[in-house]
Amino acid sequence: MEQEKRAEHLLLAAWATALIATLGSLYFSEVLGYIPCDLCWFQRIFMYPQVIILGIAIVRKDAAAARYSFTLSLIGGGISLYHYGSQKIPLLQEYAISCGRIPCTGQYINWLGFITIPFLAFTAFMIIMLLSWTVMRQQRKESER
């Protein structure tokens, strides 16, 4: 029973992370008026559904949903990492893919010299991935008993 509660709390933390990331990205675009580049849109595609998936998982007490959030976060985190690299690494900036109207190398924010929007997204994806992995590992241990 205690393991089920732990899984619920981990999923709740993952859901809260996804919700904060989603609201943060909407704040940047809808309130501050920052136009998302194409890579930002791809990151949103992998973050936004997690609010719904993890929310349903919490309500239904379905720890198996951690597999889906882990997969979405792995892909979204990869996109975020590439995007961050294209902003911060000169070699990647030089050969960055074309991102439509808004350049993917642009930095609307640059807090403390390294925190950009893709960095924030990467951090959220990694937190969700770690929490989901912990739930999946816990499930594996329970099934082995």
Residue-level pLDDT at 1:
64
Higher-scoring residue by pLDDT: 61, 96: 61
Mean pLDDT in residue range 24-38: 97
Residue-level pLDDT at 120:
98
- Reported as a pLDDT band with limits 50, 70 and 90, residue 101 is confident
Angle at 57 between CA 54 and CA 60, to 5 degrees: 155
The residues, any chain, with a CB within 8 Å of residue 34's CB and separated by 6 or more, are: 28, 108, 117
Looking at the chain, the whole-number percentage of residues with pLDDT higher than 70 is 99
Higher-scoring residue by pLDDT: 110, 102: 110
- 97 has pLDDT over 90: no
Mean pLDDT in residue range 69-90: 97
- 69 has pLDDT over 90: yes
Whole-number mean pLDDT of the chain? 95
C-alpha torsion sign, points 66, 21, 8, 137:
positive
The residues, any chain, with a CB within 8 Å of residue 60's CB and separated by 6 or more, are: none
- 140 has pLDDT over 70: yes
Mean pLDDT in residue range 109-132: 98
Question: End-to-end alpha-carbon separation of the chain, Å?
Answer: 14
Closest by CA position to 87, among listed 66, 62, 108 = 108
Mean pLDDT in residue range 97-124: 92
Distance, in Å, from the CA atom of 86 to the CA atom of 68, rounded to the nearest integer, reads: 27
- Chain position carrying tokens 């893919």: 97
- Chain position carrying tokens 């997204």: 121
Q: How many Cα atoms are found within 13 Å in the side-chain-facing hemisphere of 46? A: 26
- Range with the lowest mean pLDDT among 76-80, 88-92, 132-136? 88-92
